[in-house]
Amino acid sequence: MNHETRIKNLEKEIIELKEIVAFLQKKEPKFMPLNEGALKIGTTRKVIYDRIKKGVLEKGKDFKMHGTRYLINVDSVSKKIC
């Protein structure tokens, strides 16, 4: 097997792996605690909490409860708030 064929095969494998990684990242949204998420988005905890209470953010998609704590999906919330 010459080097050019080997390189082409490796490039195909890289593309396949990138597609798998992209699929896995989209499959499960990343939830994090409200305080950390607010810092990452660049807003305050109160702004997000108010949007939850007003019904702007959807339970299960944008946030979920873990006991008495709110966990937010940073990607989804940032699109709706910013």
What is the tens place of the pLDDT at every residue in 10-56?
A: 999 999 998 888 877 776 568 999 999 999 999 999 999 999 999 99
**Full domain range(s) for residue 65:** 3-81
In the numeric block, which tokens belong to residue 75?
């990607």
pTM of the full predicted structure?
0.63
Contact 26, 62 (CB under 8 A): no
Q: How many domains does the structure of the chain reveal?
A: 1
Q: How many CB atoms lie within 10 A of CB 57?
A: 21
Q: How many CB atoms lie within 10 A of CB 36?
A: 13
